[in-house]
Amino acid sequence: MNDVPSAGVRDLGGPPWERALVSRIRERNLAWTSEKTYRAWCRRFMASIGGKTINSLDHGDVRKWLSGLAVKERVSVSTQSQALNAVVFFFREVLKRDPGDFSDFTRARRGRKAPSVLTQAECKRLFGAMEGTGRLMAELMYAAGLRLSELLRLRVKDVDLERLQLSVQFGKGGKSRLTMIPPKLEPALRAHRERLRELHAKDREAGMPGVELPEALERKWPKAGEKFIWFWFWPSRNLMRDHRNGIIRRHHVLDVTFQKVIREAVEKAGFDKRVSPHTLRHSFATHLLASGVGIRDVQDLLGHADISTTEIYLHTAKYTGIGVRSPFETL
């Protein structure tokens, strides 16, 4: 997805290897968050190799670096896996060679921390410290259990207010799923959609290019991005440059923009705990389990490939059971 901010478009990297990495990442159309993560890890890997040349890098260098992360820096399993993904991408996509067998590197110790969650009263307090579109975004993120990237990339067509279903396209791992829209939120979402219709009409009258689409779809139907159904459900106020082709067009709200909204609301509400946008997703899962919803249902709603990922929320919930209803309904 094209979510590279203007400053990021201009940042093409420093040394030749990084410029080649950036080029390949953008050719593959990876998310901006993935680009930042891969670049940061690859910089750390390259800093660890000393005076070796890029052509002489092999699986031994990868094994030594990954083991060092676990032994010396004591990183978590997920952090080490993130570093592994970045360096494998670098070898295969940029250096065009197999990194070899380094499966015997020292693994980080597995230890999951219980996620930070809000009570339902705290969710209500947080929303009360917000207003306008920012509040509606936060409410939907909690009400439907969305990841931040999934929230930001919603299209008009993904929000079915008649069936009260939310279609999450290209979620984590490129998977799609359906989740709920609580009836309590439907009027505000419908009013928001009507405001979008006005903004879309103004963009069309101004002759602006359509919104960015997945590359395969854009090649097949170049004008589809001009249709209202493909319009971003949370469009940005300002236009941005598409890093793939230089076109100035309307993009969705950036993650940093929404994160700032949450940060300011947390400060205004006077919370004494760490709260991020993802805390809303954690709270959704915890409140569902605590209300008696079965863990398999919660797994499906969250889009977890492995139920062990969902099980972490059992530590923050009282009991499990059956029956699915968004916790937003009981606020």
Catalytic residue among 250, 251, 287, 304: 304
Maximal C-alpha separation, the chain: 62
| 46: exposed, middle or buried (Cβ count in 10 Å: 0-12, 13-18, 19+) | buried
Token pair 């998310």 is found at 31
Q: Give which of 251, 303, 264, 262 is closest to 32, Cα–Cα.
A: 251
Q: Give which of 50, 34, 278, 4 is closest to 146, Cα–Cα.
A: 278
Is 38 a residue of the active site?
no
Catalytic residue among 153, 243, 251, 313: 313
Task: Give the length of the chain.
Answer: 331
Is 281 a residue of the active site?
yes
| Sheet-wide strand order for 159-160 | 159-160, 165-168, 177-180
Catalytic residue among 26, 155, 200, 281: 281
Is 192 a residue of the active site?
no
* H or E segment to which residue 68 belongs: helix 59-71
Is 147 a residue of the active site?
yes
Phi/psi for 284 (5° steps) reads -55, -50
Contact between 279 and 118 under an 8 Å Cβ cutoff? The reply is yes
Catalytic residue among 147, 157, 241, 244: 147
CA atoms within 13 Å, Cβ hemisphere of 29: 13
| 199: exposed, middle or buried (Cβ count in 10 Å: 0-12, 13-18, 19+) | middle
Contact between 249 and 239 under an 8 Å Cβ cutoff? The reply is yes
Catalytic residue among 19, 74, 172, 273: 172
Catalytic residues: 147, 172, 278, 281, 304, 313
